[in-house]
A and B are shown apart, each in its own frame.
Chain A
Amino acid sequence: MATNTNIDYKKEQSNYIKVLVGLLVLTAITFVQPHLFMEHSSFLAQMIIAVAKAWLIVIYYMHLKGDKLIGAMVWFTLFLVAVFFIITIAVDVTHFQFGDESYITSAEHSLAGAEVHQTSSAHE
Protein backbone atom coordinates (compact mmCIF):
# COMPACT_ATOMS: atom_id res chain seq x y z
CA MET A 1 0.00 0.00 0.00
CA ALA A 2 1.55 3.28 -1.04
CA THR A 3 1.43 6.31 1.20
CA ASN A 4 -1.33 8.83 0.86
CA THR A 5 -0.48 11.84 -1.28
CA ASN A 6 -3.98 13.35 -1.24
CA ILE A 7 -3.19 16.30 0.97
CA ASP A 8 -4.09 19.95 0.86
CA TYR A 9 -0.65 21.55 0.46
CA LYS A 10 -1.78 25.14 1.14
CA LYS A 11 -3.67 24.16 4.28
CA GLU A 12 -0.81 22.03 5.65
CA GLN A 13 1.76 24.73 4.84
CA SER A 14 -0.39 27.32 6.60
CA ASN A 15 -0.56 25.01 9.67
CA TYR A 16 3.23 24.67 9.69
CA ILE A 17 3.66 28.46 9.56
CA LYS A 18 1.10 28.96 12.36
CA VAL A 19 2.95 26.47 14.57
CA LEU A 20 6.26 28.24 13.77
CA VAL A 21 4.74 31.57 14.86
CA GLY A 22 3.45 29.94 18.05
CA LEU A 23 6.89 28.48 18.79
CA LEU A 24 8.59 31.83 18.12
CA VAL A 25 6.17 33.60 20.48
CA LEU A 26 6.84 31.00 23.19
CA THR A 27 10.61 31.36 22.62
CA ALA A 28 10.25 35.13 23.07
CA ILE A 29 8.32 34.51 26.32
CA THR A 30 11.18 32.19 27.42
CA PHE A 31 13.56 35.16 27.09
CA VAL A 32 11.44 37.77 28.85
CA GLN A 33 9.97 35.57 31.59
CA PRO A 34 12.87 35.93 34.11
CA HIS A 35 12.38 39.72 34.06
CA LEU A 36 8.61 39.86 33.63
CA PHE A 37 6.70 37.26 35.65
CA MET A 38 7.25 34.39 38.11
CA GLU A 39 10.72 35.82 38.79
CA HIS A 40 11.12 33.68 41.91
CA SER A 41 9.83 30.51 40.24
CA SER A 42 11.81 30.85 37.04
CA PHE A 43 12.54 27.14 36.78
CA LEU A 44 8.86 26.22 36.98
CA ALA A 45 7.87 28.93 34.50
CA GLN A 46 10.57 27.86 32.02
CA MET A 47 9.49 24.23 32.21
CA ILE A 48 5.81 25.14 31.66
CA ILE A 49 6.77 27.11 28.53
CA ALA A 50 8.99 24.21 27.35
CA VAL A 51 6.13 21.72 27.79
CA ALA A 52 3.82 24.01 25.76
CA LYS A 53 6.43 24.16 22.97
CA ALA A 54 6.93 20.39 23.12
CA TRP A 55 3.18 19.83 22.85
CA LEU A 56 3.02 21.95 19.66
CA ILE A 57 5.95 20.06 18.14
CA VAL A 58 4.64 16.60 19.01
CA ILE A 59 1.06 17.24 17.92
CA TYR A 60 1.65 19.21 14.72
CA TYR A 61 5.25 18.68 13.49
CA MET A 62 5.39 15.02 14.50
CA HIS A 63 1.84 14.41 13.27
CA LEU A 64 0.50 12.81 16.42
CA LYS A 65 -2.82 14.60 16.21
CA GLY A 66 -5.43 11.85 15.90
CA ASP A 67 -2.87 9.03 16.06
CA LYS A 68 -4.24 7.21 19.09
CA LEU A 69 -1.89 4.19 19.12
CA ILE A 70 1.38 6.13 19.01
CA GLY A 71 -0.13 8.78 21.30
CA ALA A 72 -0.88 6.08 23.88
CA MET A 73 2.68 4.76 23.46
CA VAL A 74 4.07 8.22 24.18
CA TRP A 75 2.12 8.37 27.45
CA PHE A 76 3.22 4.84 28.32
CA THR A 77 6.89 5.74 27.75
CA LEU A 78 6.56 8.81 29.95
CA PHE A 79 4.94 6.57 32.57
CA LEU A 80 7.88 4.14 32.29
CA VAL A 81 10.36 6.98 32.73
CA ALA A 82 8.42 8.12 35.79
CA VAL A 83 8.29 4.64 37.33
CA PHE A 84 11.82 3.45 36.59
CA PHE A 85 13.69 6.69 37.03
CA ILE A 86 11.78 8.91 39.41
CA ILE A 87 10.31 6.37 41.84
CA THR A 88 13.17 3.87 41.79
CA ILE A 89 15.88 6.51 42.03
CA ALA A 90 13.93 8.51 44.61
CA VAL A 91 13.76 5.48 46.91
CA ASP A 92 17.49 4.87 46.41
CA VAL A 93 18.44 8.51 46.95
CA THR A 94 16.36 8.95 50.10
CA HIS A 95 18.04 5.87 51.60
CA PHE A 96 21.57 6.79 50.49
CA GLN A 97 23.68 5.69 53.45
CA PHE A 98 26.83 7.63 52.53
CA GLY A 99 25.08 10.99 52.07
CA ASP A 100 27.30 12.83 54.53
CA GLU A 101 30.50 11.39 53.13
CA SER A 102 29.80 11.77 49.41
CA TYR A 103 31.37 14.65 47.48
CA ILE A 104 28.18 14.95 45.48
CA THR A 105 25.58 14.94 48.23
CA SER A 106 27.55 16.87 50.85
CA ALA A 107 28.36 20.47 49.92
CA GLU A 108 30.77 20.78 52.85
CA HIS A 109 32.66 17.69 51.78
CA SER A 110 32.91 18.87 48.21
CA LEU A 111 34.53 22.16 49.27
CA ALA A 112 36.81 20.43 51.77
CA GLY A 113 37.73 17.90 49.10
CA ALA A 114 38.70 20.63 46.69
CA GLU A 115 40.89 22.24 49.36
CA VAL A 116 42.58 18.92 50.15
CA HIS A 117 43.26 18.39 46.47
CA GLN A 118 44.65 21.90 46.19
CA THR A 119 46.98 21.42 49.14
CA SER A 120 48.20 18.07 47.88
CA SER A 121 48.83 19.39 44.39
CA ALA A 122 50.72 22.37 45.86
CA HIS A 123 53.04 19.95 47.71
CA GLU A 124 53.80 17.97 44.55
Chain B
Amino acid sequence: MAHEYVPEIATDREGNEYVVQGWQDDFYGGKLGFWLFMFTEVMMFGAMFLALTYYKTLHPEDFLTASHHLNRLLGGTNTVILLISALTMGLGLLKMRVGDVKGAKLMIYITMFLAAMFLAIKGVEWTEEYEHGIFLMHDKLLPESSFPFGEKLFYGLYFTMTGLHGFHIIIGIGLMIWLLKRINAGKVTPEHHILHWNIALYWDIVHLIWVFVFPYFYMIGANHGN
Protein backbone atom coordinates (compact mmCIF):
# COMPACT_ATOMS: atom_id res chain seq x y z
CA MET B 1 0.00 0.00 0.00
CA ALA B 2 1.40 3.40 -0.98
CA HIS B 3 2.00 6.04 1.67
CA GLU B 4 2.35 9.73 1.04
CA TYR B 5 5.77 11.22 1.74
CA VAL B 6 5.59 13.07 5.07
CA PRO B 7 8.47 15.44 5.84
CA GLU B 8 9.92 15.54 9.36
CA ILE B 9 9.16 18.76 11.24
CA ALA B 10 11.43 20.35 13.87
CA THR B 11 10.10 23.00 16.22
CA ASP B 12 12.14 25.73 17.92
CA ARG B 13 11.54 27.21 21.42
CA GLU B 14 9.16 29.80 20.03
CA GLY B 15 7.05 27.09 18.42
CA ASN B 16 8.10 27.87 14.86
CA GLU B 17 8.09 24.80 12.63
CA TYR B 18 10.83 23.93 10.13
CA VAL B 19 10.99 21.13 7.59
CA VAL B 20 14.00 18.92 8.34
CA GLN B 21 16.15 18.57 5.25
CA GLY B 22 16.68 14.79 5.08
CA TRP B 23 18.48 12.89 2.35
CA GLN B 24 15.16 12.49 0.52
CA ASP B 25 15.05 16.21 -0.12
CA ASP B 26 18.73 16.96 -0.56
CA PHE B 27 19.04 15.80 -4.16
CA TYR B 28 22.46 17.20 -4.97
CA GLY B 29 23.90 16.18 -1.57
CA GLY B 30 22.60 12.64 -2.05
CA LYS B 31 24.08 12.48 -5.54
CA LEU B 32 27.43 13.89 -4.42
CA GLY B 33 27.66 11.43 -1.51
CA PHE B 34 27.01 8.51 -3.82
CA TRP B 35 29.66 9.72 -6.25
CA LEU B 36 32.14 9.72 -3.35
CA PHE B 37 31.31 6.06 -2.74
CA MET B 38 31.73 5.34 -6.44
CA PHE B 39 35.22 6.87 -6.40
CA THR B 40 36.23 4.21 -3.86
CA GLU B 41 35.02 1.60 -6.37
CA VAL B 42 37.08 3.25 -9.11
CA MET B 43 40.17 3.17 -6.88
CA MET B 44 39.63 -0.48 -5.90
CA PHE B 45 39.20 -1.72 -9.46
CA GLY B 46 41.82 0.77 -10.68
CA ALA B 47 44.41 -0.83 -8.38
CA MET B 48 43.45 -4.27 -9.71
CA PHE B 49 43.83 -3.12 -13.31
CA LEU B 50 47.24 -1.68 -12.50
CA ALA B 51 48.32 -4.97 -10.90
CA LEU B 52 47.07 -6.73 -14.03
CA THR B 53 49.06 -4.34 -16.23
CA TYR B 54 52.20 -4.87 -14.16
CA TYR B 55 51.97 -8.66 -14.41
CA LYS B 56 51.22 -8.37 -18.12
CA THR B 57 54.51 -6.55 -18.66
CA LEU B 58 56.31 -9.40 -16.87
CA HIS B 59 54.59 -12.28 -18.72
CA PRO B 60 53.25 -10.84 -22.00
CA GLU B 61 53.22 -14.12 -23.96
CA ASP B 62 51.47 -16.09 -21.20
CA PHE B 63 48.84 -13.37 -20.85
CA LEU B 64 48.07 -13.38 -24.58
CA THR B 65 47.90 -17.19 -24.68
CA ALA B 66 45.56 -17.33 -21.68
CA SER B 67 43.38 -14.54 -23.08
CA HIS B 68 43.17 -16.38 -26.41
CA HIS B 69 41.58 -19.39 -24.66
CA LEU B 70 38.74 -17.47 -22.97
CA ASN B 71 35.23 -17.86 -24.40
CA ARG B 72 34.72 -14.61 -26.35
CA LEU B 73 31.20 -15.57 -27.45
CA LEU B 74 29.95 -15.84 -23.86
CA GLY B 75 31.95 -12.79 -22.74
CA GLY B 76 30.63 -10.77 -25.70
CA THR B 77 27.04 -11.87 -25.02
CA ASN B 78 27.41 -10.68 -21.44
CA THR B 79 28.80 -7.35 -22.71
CA VAL B 80 25.67 -6.79 -24.84
CA ILE B 81 23.39 -7.90 -21.98
CA LEU B 82 24.97 -5.36 -19.59
CA LEU B 83 24.78 -2.70 -22.27
CA ILE B 84 21.04 -3.22 -22.74
CA SER B 85 20.51 -3.42 -18.97
CA ALA B 86 22.17 0.01 -18.57
CA LEU B 87 19.62 1.34 -21.08
CA THR B 88 16.62 -0.23 -19.31
CA MET B 89 17.85 1.11 -15.96
CA GLY B 90 18.27 4.60 -17.47
CA LEU B 91 14.85 4.48 -19.12
CA GLY B 92 13.33 3.32 -15.81
CA LEU B 93 14.75 6.39 -14.10
CA LEU B 94 13.49 8.58 -16.92
CA LYS B 95 9.99 7.11 -16.57
CA MET B 96 10.09 7.71 -12.82
CA ARG B 97 11.12 11.34 -13.37
CA VAL B 98 8.15 11.98 -15.69
CA GLY B 99 5.70 10.26 -13.34
CA ASP B 100 5.27 6.87 -15.05
CA VAL B 101 5.86 4.78 -11.91
CA LYS B 102 4.42 1.58 -13.43
CA GLY B 103 6.72 1.91 -16.45
CA ALA B 104 9.69 2.57 -14.14
CA LYS B 105 8.96 -0.61 -12.18
CA LEU B 106 8.69 -2.63 -15.39
CA MET B 107 12.12 -1.35 -16.49
CA ILE B 108 13.62 -2.31 -13.11
CA TYR B 109 12.19 -5.83 -13.47
CA ILE B 110 13.70 -6.11 -16.97
CA THR B 111 17.08 -4.90 -15.63
CA MET B 112 16.93 -7.52 -12.87
CA PHE B 113 16.15 -10.22 -15.41
CA LEU B 114 19.11 -9.14 -17.57
CA ALA B 115 21.37 -9.10 -14.50
CA ALA B 116 20.31 -12.66 -13.66
CA MET B 117 21.02 -13.68 -17.26
CA PHE B 118 24.49 -12.17 -16.96
CA LEU B 119 25.17 -14.23 -13.83
CA ALA B 120 23.81 -17.41 -15.43
CA ILE B 121 26.12 -16.99 -18.45
CA LYS B 122 29.06 -16.26 -16.15
CA GLY B 123 28.20 -19.45 -14.27
CA VAL B 124 28.24 -21.47 -17.52
CA GLU B 125 31.58 -19.93 -18.44
CA TRP B 126 33.19 -20.64 -15.07
CA THR B 127 31.85 -24.25 -15.13
CA GLU B 128 33.39 -24.72 -18.57
CA GLU B 129 36.74 -23.43 -17.28
CA TYR B 130 36.53 -25.60 -14.15
CA GLU B 131 36.00 -28.66 -16.33
CA HIS B 132 39.20 -27.74 -18.20
CA GLY B 133 41.05 -27.71 -14.87
CA ILE B 134 41.16 -23.93 -14.64
CA PHE B 135 39.81 -22.50 -11.41
CA LEU B 136 41.22 -20.87 -8.27
CA MET B 137 43.29 -23.42 -6.31
CA HIS B 138 42.20 -26.23 -8.61
CA ASP B 139 44.17 -28.53 -10.92
CA LYS B 140 46.17 -26.33 -13.35
CA LEU B 141 46.19 -23.30 -11.07
CA LEU B 142 47.66 -25.17 -8.09
CA PRO B 143 51.17 -24.00 -7.10
CA GLU B 144 52.69 -27.41 -7.97
CA SER B 145 51.16 -27.50 -11.46
CA SER B 146 53.52 -27.09 -14.44
CA PHE B 147 51.07 -24.68 -16.07
CA PRO B 148 52.98 -21.51 -17.20
CA PHE B 149 53.27 -19.09 -14.28
CA GLY B 150 52.07 -16.07 -16.25
CA GLU B 151 48.89 -17.95 -17.19
CA LYS B 152 48.34 -18.79 -13.53
CA LEU B 153 48.60 -15.07 -12.71
CA PHE B 154 46.25 -14.17 -15.57
CA TYR B 155 43.58 -16.67 -14.56
CA GLY B 156 44.01 -15.79 -10.89
CA LEU B 157 43.24 -12.16 -11.64
CA TYR B 158 40.53 -13.16 -14.13
CA PHE B 159 38.59 -15.13 -11.50
CA THR B 160 39.21 -12.50 -8.81
CA MET B 161 38.11 -9.55 -10.92
CA THR B 162 35.18 -11.17 -12.73
CA GLY B 163 34.15 -12.70 -9.38
CA LEU B 164 34.23 -9.32 -7.66
CA HIS B 165 32.33 -7.83 -10.59
CA GLY B 166 29.75 -10.65 -10.33
CA PHE B 167 29.42 -9.88 -6.62
CA HIS B 168 28.61 -6.28 -7.57
CA ILE B 169 25.92 -7.58 -9.93
CA ILE B 170 24.37 -9.59 -7.07
CA ILE B 171 24.46 -6.49 -4.84
CA GLY B 172 22.84 -4.56 -7.71
CA ILE B 173 19.97 -7.06 -7.90
CA GLY B 174 19.52 -6.70 -4.12
CA LEU B 175 19.44 -2.91 -4.44
CA MET B 176 16.84 -3.12 -7.21
CA ILE B 177 14.63 -5.34 -5.01
CA TRP B 178 14.98 -2.76 -2.23
CA LEU B 179 14.18 0.04 -4.70
CA LEU B 180 10.99 -1.76 -5.80
CA LYS B 181 9.95 -2.12 -2.15
CA ARG B 182 10.57 1.60 -1.57
CA ILE B 183 8.57 2.49 -4.69
CA ASN B 184 5.70 0.24 -3.56
CA ALA B 185 5.82 1.89 -0.12
CA GLY B 186 5.56 5.32 -1.73
CA LYS B 187 8.98 6.36 -0.40
CA VAL B 188 10.41 6.78 -3.90
CA THR B 189 8.19 8.95 -6.04
CA PRO B 190 8.60 11.12 -9.16
CA GLU B 191 9.22 14.06 -6.80
CA HIS B 192 11.65 12.18 -4.52
CA HIS B 193 13.65 9.82 -6.67
CA ILE B 194 17.22 10.25 -5.40
CA LEU B 195 17.38 6.56 -4.39
CA HIS B 196 16.39 5.51 -7.89
CA TRP B 197 18.93 7.94 -9.34
CA ASN B 198 21.76 6.57 -7.18
CA ILE B 199 20.93 2.91 -7.85
CA ALA B 200 20.93 3.73 -11.57
CA LEU B 201 24.36 5.32 -11.05
CA TYR B 202 25.54 2.17 -9.25
CA TRP B 203 24.35 0.07 -12.17
CA ASP B 204 26.22 2.34 -14.58
CA ILE B 205 29.48 1.91 -12.66
CA VAL B 206 29.00 -1.88 -12.69
CA HIS B 207 28.60 -1.58 -16.47
CA LEU B 208 31.56 0.79 -16.69
CA ILE B 209 33.86 -1.68 -14.92
CA TRP B 210 32.84 -4.43 -17.36
CA VAL B 211 33.65 -2.08 -20.27
CA PHE B 212 37.32 -2.44 -19.22
CA VAL B 213 37.20 -6.01 -17.85
CA PHE B 214 35.94 -7.46 -21.14
CA PRO B 215 38.66 -6.20 -23.53
CA TYR B 216 41.41 -6.62 -20.93
CA PHE B 217 40.71 -10.30 -20.37
CA TYR B 218 38.92 -11.53 -23.47
CA MET B 219 40.17 -9.43 -26.38
CA ILE B 220 43.89 -8.73 -25.93
CA GLY B 221 44.80 -12.24 -27.11
CA ALA B 222 42.01 -12.64 -29.67
CA ASN B 223 44.40 -12.82 -32.63
CA HIS B 224 47.28 -14.41 -30.71
CA GLY B 225 48.95 -17.25 -32.59
CA ASN B 226 47.19 -16.44 -35.88
Contacts and interface: CB of A to CB of B under 8 A. Distances in A.
Given A73-B39, A77-B42, A81-B46, A53 B146 contact: no
Interface centre among A3, A53, A70 (most CB of B within 10 A): A3
B54 A5 contact: no
A54 B59 contact: no
Interface in A55-91: 57-58, 61-62, 69-70, 73-74, 77-78, 80-81, 85-86, 89
Nearest to B146: A114
Interface in B98-116: 98-99
A27 to B, nearest CB: 6
Given A3-B27, A20-B83, A39 B94 contact: no
Contacts of B208: 54, 57-58, 62
B149 interface: yes
Interface residues of A, number: 59
B27 A34 contact: no
B144 A114 contact: yes
A98 interface: no
Given A2-B191, A77-B43, A107-B58, A13 B91 contact: yes
5 contacts: A27-B76, A54-B212, A57-B207, A78-B42, A114-B145
Interface of A: 1-5, 7, 9, 12-13, 16-17, 19-20, 23-24, 27, 30-31, 33-35, 39, 42-43, 46-47, 49-50, 53-54, 57-58, 61-62, 69-70, 73-74, 77-78, 80-81, 85-86, 89, 93, 103-105, 107, 110-111, 113-115, 117-118, 120-121
